[in-house]
Chains A and B, each alone.
Chain A
Amino acid sequence: MRRVAFTANGTRHDLEIEPRELLVYVLRDRLGLTGTNVGCDTSSCGACTVLVNGESVKSCTMLGVQAAGMEVKTIEGLAHNGELHPVQQAFHEHHALQCGYCTPGMVLAAVSLIDSGAATDEAAIRHGLEGNLCRCTGYHNIVKAVADVAGVS
């Protein structure tokens, strides 16, 4: 076991974990942050995407111990004072989800993409979301929602 301290959604946690525990299971099973979904468990689908120091990361492909000293943000930490984050609001308005399984990862990947300044046009948004699979929406409304927040058409 190893002691690891990191921040999740602004709260500091100090945990004893096994080195082999993946970040996604630390978040879900130890911290109860079950908004982060596991889809493929093989680094392909992006359902488990969270932000680590502001950047999108597949939490099924990172060890909990690698998060030591870092700031992790999950879907639970995105709304602020009861107000949805602009990307969440846009997903709502553009009907960018159906079953919702991919949505937490998709939203966080979109936040990272927009914050990095790379969401410059529709093609860039599609390229920038290629790490996230959605089996329901056909992507059109997701891309519209992200374009809306990024201010591009």
Chain B
Amino acid sequence: MIPAGFDYEVAESVEHAIELLGNGEDTKLLAGGHSLLPAMKLRLARPALLVDVGRLNDLAYVKEEGETIAIGALTRHKDVASSPELREHCAIVSYTAGHVGDPQVRHRGTIGGSLAHGDPASDLPSVILALHGELVARGPGGDRAIPAGEFFTGVWQTALAPHEVLVEIRVPKLGAAGWSYTKMARRAQDWATVAVAAVVHGNGSVERAAVALTNMGATTLRATAVEKALVGGASIDDAAALAADGTEPPTDHMASSDFRKHLARVLTRRALEEASRRSGRRARGG
């Protein structure tokens, strides 16, 4: 399978990429290409111009900034997975990046591409949502920070404007909060049938939690009923039973909608159990 023809430009800088994006609606950024190229080979995407940002090495970094970890949008999954800063302070991100696809995918795919693609089956959107992360977009008018809760707007849709480049992802240090990313996939390298990201505050128990669901709707979703129940003092079992409330997950070749709802409840319980075991001490690992 060969993509339809297109023009190709290498961006020399973010500013250059923004300028090239001004060429019109049919222009697309190319980062790792591991979502875009498969879609182009299937002719689901037919951009007229590809702007290659994959060589902007100054956007490939992980930095500690006070209580925040800043991740450059062009950081490859394998470098996110092995980052000492993330493994120490926000291991849910490094752990999850290490479980995206397979090694070949992680050698090319970037965290920015994963988020900007807006696929509800992707793993990292739920993690950034459960962390209350921020996404920094740069456009002709400068930078703006978009809260994760406002970034994902639909299947393959995000709050990024056509002329904006995602440049940085900002996540808080977890401190004593516990975490889990619990993913159910049918085969080793597969996308999640359903997955749950949980960040738990408490001391071996759950006082407060943020829970986000992968592949349970058009975007990653907060399991707000679960979060409310936990603040109200519900047990993990009782709270997790509410995980599918208000969701309308898709039916596809991997699972029916009902099975996905069942998985959401089971995986939320497991994620909360794992996260609460890790809370109250400095969360490490991944």
Contact = CB atoms under 8 A, between A and B. Distances in A.
Q: What's the interface size class on B, roughly?
A: 20 to 34
A112 B182 CA distance: 27
Contacts of A116: 103
A44 B40 CA distance: 16
Contacts of A128: 103
A49 B103 CA distance: 11
The contact size tier of chain A is 20 to 34
Given A41-B41, A57-B108, A61-B37, A20 B5 contact: yes
B107 A57 contact: yes
Contacts of B52: 65-66
Interface of A: 2, 18-22, 25, 41-44, 46, 49, 52, 55-58, 61-63, 65-66, 68, 109, 112-113, 116, 118, 127-128, 130-132
B33 A61 contact: yes
Interface in B178-199: 188-189
B237 interface: no
11 contacts: A18-B5, A19-B8, A20-B3, A41-B1, A58-B104, A63-B37, A66-B54, A109-B104, A130-B189, A131-B105, A132-B102
B104 A42 contact: no
What are the 8 tightest A-B residue pairs by CB atom distance, in nearest-first order?
A131-B102, A19-B8, A130-B188, A55-B107, A20-B3, A131-B104, A130-B189, A58-B104
A4 to B, nearest CB: 10
Contact of A46 (B5, B41, B104): B104
Contacts of B34: 43, 61
B50 A131 contact: no
